[in-house]
Amino acid sequence: MTEPSSREKASPQSPSAIENPNLSDTCGSTIVGFDGASDPANPLNWSFSRKVVTSGLYSLTSLGSVWASTAYSPANSKIADEFDVSPQVAIVGTSLLLLGWGFGPLLWAPLSEVYGRKWPVLIPFFISVVMSFGTATGKDIQTILITRFFTGFFGAAPISSTGGVYVDIWDASQRGNAIVGYTLAVCGGPALGPVVGGAIIYSGTNWRWTEYTTGILQAFILILGVIFIEESYVPTLLVRKARMLRQNTGNYALHAEWEETTVSIKALAIKFGLRPLQMLLTPICLSVTIYSSFIYGTFYASLASFPIIFQETRGWNELVGSLPFIGVLVGIIMGAVLSGLNQKYYNRAYEANDFKAVPEARLPPMMIASVILSAGLFIIGWTAAPQLHWIAPVIGVTMMGFGYYTIFTSALNYLVDTFQRWGASAVAANTFMRSVLAAAFPLVVPPMFHSLGNDWAFSVLAIVSVLNIPIPFVFWFYGPKIREMGKYSSNMG
């Protein structure tokens, strides 16, 4: 990818680009920008309701993707019986979807930074919808597993690119609360999916309706997105404006800066396809990602253990055995409240820092949650015995949901604040590592819990979680120094 060197470079998002629609006339070319700092075409200047609708639709699209990851789980035994395979083979369907989530963002997030946000999200999501129906109609286990992988691969587009959308339309003083809505969808979807899937299985309906239901939900969300989602990526919007001006004025010297960037397949692969991996090599992105990946893996390990704890150990049926997932959802809502309250603290830090992002001000909820998560894991494990009242492990489940959600949200906010314009690629790097790690957990959880028992299996997860408690405190004290060590993070995006 090459850029012209015969004129002064200016970012489409820079103040000069916003304030002066005509940056320069050198080399016979006039660069198109926004018409002043208050131009309503600039996504940062959209009305509040317009921003909320856009954010909500992207969150719904992400919900459709994450729902698919766990709605399948209650059908594991039915799938194993129908295709005459072991339950462990059926569980691979969940692992492959998570693996698809890992590799998909390496493609979709960079594309959203080249071709805009809307279609690089909705086109892959459409294919994910098709794959969900493919799973529902699969005639053999091979088809089930292959379609599950591609459901995750294409469904990763909204999960990885939504962070970039929030950078487009919300300033740092509002972005934290906006991301709370997104993370509610991403974290709440896996908790709701098993409840609905369990109800379908318990009712005696064919297991395929867990997938038909997923596909129908995704298709409905897709239709809403196609109709109502608006493009928000500044370079793409300025390209459209330049094209319109050329058409209306006949002045073909009018160009958006992005149009003067030559994009070849090779350059796209090197500069954009590798960007998430390059960011993963920066110390701050790697540190945050390792921590959040463990938390994410622990969350999916806990979800995979629920059938063992509440159905095998306590003898509950598929429907009742899925109800403890509601405890996860309650914990997630409590975490959302704390994250929202922290936004007030963040805004004070933001104003004191001359209205520049302060990533460390996102960390106090993470510090609290790191302790509560560890305690919750211990409680689940040591109160899982059937002679103890069911409310005890459900309290632990709620604490686990609170800790997982709060840490996940703080980590995402921290990355977006740090990398800003390249936030989609930073989130993609994070999604890649945590999804690849999480893909292994559904496979190892059943033998781990059956070998160690519920108490010690959860204790292993809790002990590792305790060892990770210092990490957000390290970010708090040394985050700025760690950021200075990275190419993309040293200048805050």
Per residue in 364-389, pLDDT tens?
Answer: 999 999 999 999 999 999 999 999 99
**What's the CA gap between 107 and 123, in Å, rounded?**
13
Q: Are 426 and 416 in contact (CB under 8 A)?
A: yes
Please tell me the predicted confidence (pLDDT) of residue 172. Answer: 82
Please give the pLDDT value at position 391: 96
CA distance 225 to 117: 12
At 303 the pLDDT is 80
Task: Give the H/E segment covering residue 80.
Answer: helix 76-83
Q: Count of residues for the chain?
A: 493
**Could you give the angle at which helices 470-483 and 364-382 cross, rounded to 10 degrees?**
150
Q: Is the pLDDT of residue 267 over 70?
A: no
Instruction: Determine whether 171 is exposed, middle or buried from the number of CB atoms within 10 Å of its CB (0-12, 13-18, 19+).
Output: exposed
- Give the rounded percent of residues in the chain with a pLDDT score beyond 70: 90
pLDDT in tens, 237-252: 999 999 999 999 988 8
| 271: confidence class by pLDDT, cuts 50, 70, 90 | low
Q: What value, to the nearest 5°, has the Cα angle with vertex 311 and ends 305 and 317?
A: 135
Q: Which residue has the tokens 């997923």?
A: 214
pLDDT at residue 12, rounded to an integer: 40
pLDDT tens-digit readout, 407-465: 989 998 898 888 877 776 788 788 888 888 889 888 888 899 999 999 999 999 999 99
Query: CATH assignment of 43-232+274-483?
Result: 1.20.1250.20
- pLDDT the model gives residue 205: 95
Give CA–CA dist 63/321, Å, rounded: 23
The confidence band for 262, taking pLDDT boundaries of 50, 70 and 90, is low
Q: How far apart are CA 434 and CA 398, in angstroms?
A: 22
Q: What is the mean pLDDT of residues 346-371?
A: 93
- Answer with the residue of higher pLDDT: 28 or 19: 28
Q: Please, which pLDDT band fits residue 493 given cuts at 50, 70 and 90? A: very low
138 pLDDT above the threshold of 60: yes
**Lowest-confidence region among 6-15, 83-92, 123-132, 221-230:** 6-15
Cα distance from N-terminal residue to C-terminal residue, the chain: 19
In whole angstroms, what separates CA 247 from the centre of its chain? 39
Rounded to an integer, the average pLDDT of 392-416 is 93
Are 415 and 285 spatial neighbours (Cβ–Cβ below 8 Å)?
Answer: yes
pLDDT at 213: 97
| Residue 78 to residue 447: CA distance in whole angstroms | 20
Q: How far is CA 117 from CA 11, 112, 141, 426, in A?
A: 18, 5, 35, 15
User: 138 by DSSP, 3-state: which?
Assistant: coil
Q: Of 181-195, 202-216, 350-364, which one has max mean pLDDT? A: 202-216
Q: Is the pLDDT of residue 40 over 50?
A: yes
State both tokens at 37.
Answer: 């700092």
Whether the CB-CB separation of 40 and 187 falls below 8 Å is answered with: no
Least confident of 24-28, 45-49, 111-115, 204-208: 24-28
The answer, yes or no, to whether residue 6 has pLDDT greater than 50, is no
Burial of 249 (C-beta count, 10 Å sphere; 0-12/13-18/19+): exposed
Which of the four pLDDT bands, split at 50, 70 and 90, describes residue 2? very low
Structural tokens at position 50: 């317009």
Provide the pLDDT confidence category of residue 7 given band limits of 50, 70 and 90.
Answer: very low
Alpha carbon of residue 273 to chain centroid: 18
No. of helices (H) and no. of strands (E), the chain: 19, 2
How do the domains of the chain map onto residue ranges? 15-40+233-268, 43-232+274-483
Tell me the DSSP string of 191-250. Answer: HHHHHHHHHHHHTT--THHHHHHHHHHHHHHHHHHHHH-----HHHHHHHHHHHHHHHH-
Provide the whole-model pTM: 0.83
Measured distance CA(176)–CA(76) in Å, rounded: 37
Residues 6+ apart with CB under 8 A from 249: none
102-132 pLDDT, tens digit per residue, is 899 888 888 888 889 999 999 999 999 999 9
Higher pLDDT, 423 or 42: 42
CB-based contact 64:221 (threshold 8 Å): yes
The token pair that represents 459 in the structure block = 């204790």
pLDDT tier at 294, thresholds 50, 70, 90: confident
Q: What integer pLDDT is reported at residue 274 of this predicted model?
A: 78
The answer to whether 98 touches 70, Cβ cutoff 8 Å, is no
C-alpha closest to that of 133 among 211, 50, 186: 211
Instruction: Report the DSSP beta bridge partners of residue 256.
Output: 32
Helix (H) or strand (E) holding 20: none
